[in-house]
Amino acid sequence: MPLPCYKRVLLKLSGEALMGDQSFGIDPEMIKYVAEEIQSAFDLGIQLAIVVGGGNIFRGIAASSFGMDRASADRMGMLATVINSLALQGALEKIGIQTRTQTAISMHEVAEPYILRRAVRHLEKGRVVIFGAGTGNPYFTTDTAAVLRAQEIHAEILLKATKVDGLFDSDPVLNHQAKFLRQITYMQVIERQLKVMDMTAISLAMDNHLPLAVFNLKNKGNIRKVICGEEVGTRIVA
């Protein structure tokens, strides 16, 4: 059985990953599948933290384009990420994985407040830690929150689970000749304006030499494969 290449990992899940084939909300079968995929990676004995987006429920940037105040819209989006975090926590605990949700916005009756030392202690005790509510600040995406939390807990790699196999040199939907990129640098992502993450997140990862792995969540076993060092998806490196 292959051994993990990393001891501490942060997994970034988009809110859309929990929708399944629905157009909105959380698909029970999809969240069960995600929990099982996380379990297969967790069984390797790694320390695992997770950041979940909220785009399946509410997206602040989209709401602000319709005239809503951006700060208010982003805070609504943060609350959507907490809903997803609690749903994922429930799915993980149902299959026997101890999980703690911490939020950047205080809501003591719902989840723990984000405290770095407490989060690290949970990881060391073999619990999965889910970080909700983004950074707690408007104008920052959950991608940026994922990179920030990965740096704070000293994760060795950030895994970005998406709906595509990785990065291409152009949009594969519009260009059937698009070339798959097995590896690319942070600067090339910025220069080519590839939409894998927002530029703030990429810049923060680049400044701190945090390697990123982008892969398709729907391919069973991909999370485990990436952690074990197999060539899956795209690596973004210095």
Average pLDDT of each block of 10 consecutive residues along the chain (238 residues)?
Answer: 92 92 90 97 97 88 77 93 97 98 96 97 98 95 97 98 89 83 94 90 96 96 96 94
pLDDT at site 24: 86
Q: How many domains does the chain have?
A: 1
Please report whether residue 3 resides in a domain.
no
pLDDT at site 22: 86
pLDDT at site 222: 96
Cα(98)–Cα(125) distance, integer angstroms: 10
User: Greatest CA span in the chain, whole angstroms?
Assistant: 54
Tokens for 153, please give them: 């807990």
pLDDT at site 82: 97
Q: Which helix (H) or strand (E) holds 181?
A: strand 180-181
pLDDT at site 13: 96
Please, what sign has the CA dihedral across residues 29, 26, 202, 102? negative
Q: Which pTM does this prediction carry?
A: 0.94
Name the one residue in this structure whose structure tokens are 């700060």.
Answer: 71
Please report whether residue 77 resides in a domain.
yes
Contact 131, 102 (CB under 8 A): yes
Query: Exposed, middle or buried by CB within 10 Å (0-12, 13-18, 19+), for 205?
Result: buried
Task: Output the DSSP codes for 68-135.
Answer: --HHHHHHHHHHHHHHHHHHHHHHHHHTT--EEEEESS--TTTSEE--HHHHHHHHHTT-EEEEESTT
Please report whether residue 94 resides in a domain.
yes
pLDDT at site 136: 96
Q: Residue 183 — φ and ψ, nearest 5°?
A: -145, 145
CATH assignment of the domain containing 137: 3.40.1160.10
pLDDT at site 204: 97
Separation in Å, CA 158 to CA 31, 70, 95, 227: 20, 27, 24, 10
pLDDT at site 167: 92
Please report whether residue 2 resides in a domain.
no
Please report whether residue 51 resides in a domain.
yes
Please report whether residue 163 resides in a domain.
yes
Residue 115: give the domain boundaries: 8-237
Show Cβ contacts of residue 7 under 8 Å, excluding neighbours closer than 6 positions.
46, 47, 156
Please report whether residue 1 resides in a domain.
no
Please report whether residue 49 resides in a domain.
yes
